[in-house]
Amino acid sequence: SAVISQKPSRDICQRGTSLTIQCQVDSQVTMMFWYRQQPGQSLTLIATANQGSEATYESGFVIDKFPISRPNLTFSTLTVSNMSPEDSSIYLCSVPPFGTGSIYNEQFFGPGTRLTVL
C-alpha cells in the first residue's frame, strides 16, 4: 500500500482566512482524491485530482472554495478558502493502489488534516 502523508495534521484558523493542505505520496499515482469528514459524519468526496488536468468536483463543491493543485504524480494540495466555522472538518486525501489501479477500486487514505475554524 502507498505511504501517504498530510500537512498540517491539524490547524485552528480564523474565519475568512484560507488554509492549504498538502498531500504527499511515496509512489506515483494517476489519481488523487480529496474527502471531507465533518464531525461525527461520514466521508464525502470533494474532488478528484488528476495530474495535468483540472480537478473534477463533486456536486456541492466548487473550485473557488476548494482550489486544488496537482503539480506532479506524487503531490497535491487542497485549499479551503474564505473559511467559516462550517468548514471545520477532517480533510483527507486518498489514492488508488500504485500502478494502473486495482480492479478492486481500493483506496488508501492519508492520516487527515483536522481543521477547526473559529
Nearest alpha carbon to residue 94 among 45, 61, 55: 45
43 or 81, CB closer to another protein?
A: 43
C-alpha cell at 86: 462550517
Sites of contact with another protein (CB under 8 A): 1, 4, 31, 33, 41-45, 48, 56, 92, 94, 96, 101, 103-112, 114
Spatial contact of 13 and 81, defined as CB atoms under 8 Å apart: no
Closest approach of another protein to the CB of residue 118, in Å: 20
99's CB contacts (< 8 A; 6+ apart) are none
6 or 77, CB closer to another protein?
A: 6
30 or 79, CB closer to another protein?
A: 30
